[in-house]
Structure 1
C-alpha cells in the first residue's frame, strides 16, 4: 500500500501539470478546431487506466513476484485495447480531420505509458 501512495503522490501532480499544459495549448493555439473529446475526459481515462494498471502490478508483484513483467506486458495490451474502444466513437464520427483528436489522445497516452513503465521497472528491479 505504501508503494501505491508513493505512486499517487507523483502521478496526481504529473497528471495535473500535463492537463493544464494540454488545455492551455488547445485553448490558445487550436481555438478553431472542434475536438471530439474534451481534455478532461482524455485525462480521466488515462489516469483511471494507469491507476488500475499499477494497482494490478502491485497485486501481482505481491502474490507472484516472478510474473510482474508478464503482468505489465499483458495489462499494457489491455490498455491498448481499451484505448481503441475509447476512440471508436471518434473514428466512426463524421469529422473531416481526426488527426488533432488522435494526437490529443495519444501524446498523453505515451507520456502516461512512459511514467507507468518507469515505475514498473522500479518495481521489478526491487526483486
Structure 2
C-alpha cells in the first residue's frame, strides 16, 4: 500500500501547493475578491477528498483489483454529492457574486478530478 501511496504523494503535494498558491494570489492580491469560502477552505476540501479517494482506491485495488474502476466511479459520485453539500450554504444565502464563488470552487474541483483520474488509471493498469 505504501509503495502505491509514495509516488502519488510526491506528485499530489506539489500539485496541491502550487494550485493553492496560484488561486490564493489571484483571489487575494490580483482580483482582491471577498469570497464566501476562503481559498484555504476550498483547498482543504479538495485535498482531503482527493487523498481519501485515492487511499480508498488503493485499498480496493489491493483487495479486489477488478473492482477499482467501479470504486472510482462511486467515489466520484460521492465527491460530487459532498461538493453540493459543501456549497449548499453558499447557494442558500444571498451572496454577492455567486458565480465567482462557484467558479472559485469548481476550477480546482475539475483540476483535482483530472489528477485523481490520471492516478486511478495508473492504478488500474498496474497488475
TM over 0.5: yes
The equivalent of 1:45 in structure 2 is 45
- TM-score, normalised on structure 2? 0.96
Distance in 1, Cα, partners of 2:97 & 2:15: 29
**Which ranges of structure 1 fall in alignment gaps of 5 or more residues?**
none
The equivalent of 2:105 in structure 1 is 105
The equivalent of 1:6 in structure 2 is 7
Distance in 2, Cα, partners of 1:126 & 1:5: 15
Distance in 2, Cα, partners of 1:30 & 1:81: 29
Distance in 2, Cα, partners of 1:122 & 1:78: 21
The equivalent of 1:60 in structure 2 is 60
What is the deviation of 1:27? 1.7
The equivalent of 1:115 in structure 2 is 115
Per-residue CA deviations over 1:44-91 (Å, capped at 9, x if unaligned) read 110000000000000000000000000000000000000000000101
Distance in 2, Cα, partners of 1:8 & 1:43: 16
Distance in 2, Cα, partners of 1:96 & 1:41: 19
Please give the secondary structure, in 2, of the residue aligned with 1:35.
Answer: coil
Please give the secondary structure, in 2, of the residue aligned with 1:36.
Answer: coil
Distance in 1, Cα, partners of 2:78 & 2:93: 24
Stretches (4+) displaced over 4 A: none
Question: What is the aligned-residue RMSD (CA, Å)?
Answer: 0.9
Distance in 2, Cα, partners of 1:26 & 1:82: 23
The equivalent of 1:17 in structure 2 is 18
- TM-score, normalised on structure 1? 0.96
